[in-house]
């Protein structure tokens, strides 16, 4: 059949642990009448009825290999180690550890391949062990030496406000193992010790040891704006992170060339969009991408914390956004092109990049960043007597009688064509920017997002972004495989609402699901996203 229920007890009256897929390999651990106590490949245990299973005789395999021959990690951490064979049956492969008390197989993540899976290797205590990946007959095997170091005194450190305002009180936070009873935060030579902590625990669904940690919080505020470096110390170890303090009374829509950090409300939205996975599982849409926390894809041979508590999940997200290529990718894009950008625009682009990768902002590979780079402050004296030449560098467009896509179309304008720009008009309610142009003795309006103004001294400024074109290009990134997905359409819509209107409320599905899906601001949807427009 399509699946078999794994139950908590030997009866159909008991609750369901999970649904096992057809062909799943089970290890029988007990017999209770016609019910079998079993354990699956991911170490989940329960009961199945014997009528639905048959004895399995594993085959052999050849060409065993591992993605690393040696690895080092700290106690309580996990590392992804991929096991592969060239032929045979992966289910015939077994894992052994020369010192199981040091490290061993936690569980397996099958990634839609008959030749490779990801093994989650868990570090139990300091020491060294040799892991062996072999078939039961011993005809093929591969080994990896795993060294486990002492536990990190501090696992994560971050702040409750990633991007605070001057005078605002918020918390500095550190997550430690249970051996730590005090943490000291240091900022600019000033120390802030704290013994105040709460305890968090999570019981694994895959057979890993229960994860328990301490979460320390220290309230703080900063009178002056700036970027601050914070170090959390405990037990001879430390973690350092940065936070940004903005001037009080700032506006999320105000653009500048300043370096930025992601706001905490945007981090929480990213967490909502991504969904939570306390333990690493394969991506349900893009197979072969084991994921943990809020959308963090674990690469092979990479060390991480698994079976995460709520504080650890958010801490991991903040760390990956702040220190990885995501916020850095947006800041690099802003800096490289001297682009004036608002906090809301920065937040929206970080969410976009977190989902699609920082390469999505490369103008040589993608059209959307070029639409953003078309946003410039028009010359103050722009007029019919002091015009500017513009070039359609995105795609072909239409010349309209008045600003708005519902106006009468006067002409089609090909990509690469030049126009004489004699004026500019903003439609504030829709964040549209229209250039008044002359073309072949006709005067009309064309969306500014299509036009690259020519000349020197132009200031790139996303305050002049044209939602007519740019929001459409946001929404074009709504595919998984060859199809548009509702969830990706809604996420792109949410990012556009933040980018153009700083509307974090409508961008939050938890705040109002119907408004989250609704095209409140009249963005123009690409054809394959239109079935999801409300």
C-beta separation of 418 from 387 below 8 A:
no
For residue 175, what are the β-bridge partners? 156, 215
| pLDDT tens, per residue, the chain with 534 residues | 557 899 999 999 999 998 887 778 899 999 999 999 999 888 889 999 999 998 876 677 899 999 999 999 999 999 999 999 999 888 889 999 999 999 999 999 998 888 999 999 999 999 999 999 998 777 899 999 999 999 999 999 999 999 999 999 999 999 999 999 999 999 999 999 999 999 999 999 999 999 999 999 999 999 999 999 999 999 999 999 999 999 998 889 999 999 999 999 999 999 999 999 999 999 877 788 999 999 999 999 999 999 999 999 999 999 999 999 999 999 999 999 999 999 999 999 999 999 999 999 999 999 999 999 999 999 999 999 999 999 999 999 999 999 999 999 999 999 999 999 999 999 999 999 999 999 999 999 999 999 999 988 899 999 999 999 999 999 999 998 788 999 999 999 999 999 999 999 999 999 989 999 999 999 999 999 999 999
- Indicate the Cα dihedral angle 316, 320, 321, 323, nearest 10°: 120
Angle at the Cα of 326 from the Cα atoms of 262 and 213, rounded to 5 degrees: 70
Residue 486 backbone dihedrals phi, psi, to 5 degrees: -55, -45
Handedness of CA 341, 347, 353, 356 (dihedral sign): negative
**Cα gap 300→23, rounded to integer Å:** 26
Angle at the Cα of 132 from the Cα atoms of 87 and 20, rounded to 5 degrees: 65
Task: Quickly tell me which residue has 């197989």 as its tokens.
Answer: 105
Q: Is 106 exposed, middle or buried (0-12, 13-18, 19+ CB in 10 A)?
A: buried
pLDDT at 481: 78
DSSP 201-267: EE--SSSPPPEEEEEEEEEE--SS-EEEEEEEEETTEEEEEEEEEEPTT--TT--BS------HHHH
Q: Which of 396, 393, 357, 397 is nearest to 477 (CA)?
A: 357
Predicted TM-score of the model (pTM): 0.88
Measured N-to-C along each axis, helices 343-356 and 325-336 cross at an angle, to the nearest 10 degrees, of 120
C-beta separation of 529 from 486 below 8 A:
no
C-beta separation of 142 from 119 below 8 A:
no
**Cα gap 100→503, rounded to integer Å:** 52
C-beta separation of 61 from 140 below 8 A:
yes
C-beta separation of 49 from 34 below 8 A:
yes
Helix and strand numbers, DSSP H then E, in the chain: 8, 39
pLDDT at 218: 97
pLDDT at 2: 58
Show the tokens assigned to 118. 């990801």
DSSP collapsed to 3 states, 437-448: EEECCEEEEEEH
**Cα gap 181→183, rounded to integer Å:** 7
Per DSSP, helices labelled H in 278-391 are: 310-323, 325-336, 343-356, 368-373
């Amino acid at each position: 059949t399509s699946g078999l229920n794994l139950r908590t007890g030997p009866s159909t009256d008991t609750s369901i642990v999970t649904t096992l897929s057809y062909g799943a390999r089970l290890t029988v651990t007990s017999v209770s009448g016609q019910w079998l106590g079993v354990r699956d490949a991911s170490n989940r245990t329960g009961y199945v009825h014997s009528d639905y299973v048959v004895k399995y005789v594993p085959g052999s395999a050849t060409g065993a290999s591992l993605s690393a021959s040696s690895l080092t990690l700290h106690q309580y951490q996990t590392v992804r180690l991929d096991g592969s064979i060239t032929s045979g049956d992966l289910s015939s492969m077994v894992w052994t550890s020369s010192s199981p008390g040091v490290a061993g197989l936690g569980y397996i993540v099958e990634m839609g391949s008959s030749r490779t899976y990801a093994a989650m290797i868990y570090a139990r205590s300091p020491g060294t062990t040799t892991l062996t990946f072999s078939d039961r007959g011993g005809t093929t095997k591969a080994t990896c030496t795993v060294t486990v170091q002492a536990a990190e005194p501090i696992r994560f450190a971050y702040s409750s406000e990633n991007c605070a305002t001057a005078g605002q009180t918020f918390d500095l936070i550190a997550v430690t193992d249970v051996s730590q009873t005090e943490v000291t935060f240091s900022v600019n030579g000033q120390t802030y010790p704290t013994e105040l902590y709460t305890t968090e625990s999570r019981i694994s669904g895959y057979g890993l040891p229960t994860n328990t940690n301490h979460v320390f919080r220290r309230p703080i505020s900063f009178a002056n704006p700036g970027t601050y470096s914070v170090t959390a110390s405990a037990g001879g170890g430390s973690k350092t992170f940065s936070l940004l303090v903005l001037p009080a009374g700032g506006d999320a829509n105000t653009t500048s060339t300043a370096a930025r950090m992601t706001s905490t409300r945007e981090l929480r939205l990213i967490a909502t969009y991504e969904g939570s996975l306390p333990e690493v599982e394969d991506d349900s849409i893009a197979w072969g991408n084991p994921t943990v926390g809020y959308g963090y894809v674990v690469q092979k041979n990479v060390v991480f914390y698994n079976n995460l508590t709520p504080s650890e999940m958010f801490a991991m997200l903040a760390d990956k956004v702040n220190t990885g290529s995501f916020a850095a990718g947006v800041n690099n894009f802003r800096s490289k092109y001297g682009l004036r950008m608002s906090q809301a625009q920065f937040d929206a682009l970080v969410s976009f990049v977190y989902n699609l990768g920082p390469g999505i902002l490369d103008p040589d590979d993608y059209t959307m960043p070029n639409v953003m780079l078309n946003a410039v402050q028009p010359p103050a004296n722009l007029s019919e007597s002091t015009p500017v030449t513009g070039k359609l560098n995105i795609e072909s467009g239409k010349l309209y009688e008045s600003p708005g896509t519902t106006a009468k179309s006067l002409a089609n304008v090909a990509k690469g064509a030049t126009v004489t720009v004699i004026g500019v008009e903003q439609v504030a309610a829709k964040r549209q920017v229209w250039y008044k142009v002359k073309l072949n003795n006709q005067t009309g309006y064309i969306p500014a997002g299509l036009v690259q103004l020519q000349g020197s001294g132009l200031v790139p400024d996303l305050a002049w972004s044209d939602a007519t074109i740019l929001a459409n290009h946001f929404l074009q990134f709504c595919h998984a495989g060859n199809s548009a997905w509702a969830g990706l359409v809604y996420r792109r819509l949410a990012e556009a609402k933040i980018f153009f209107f700083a509307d974090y409320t409508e961008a939050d599905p938890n705040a109002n699901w119907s408004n989250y899906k609704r095209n409140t601001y009249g963005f123009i949807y690409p054809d394959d996203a239109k079935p999801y427009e409300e």
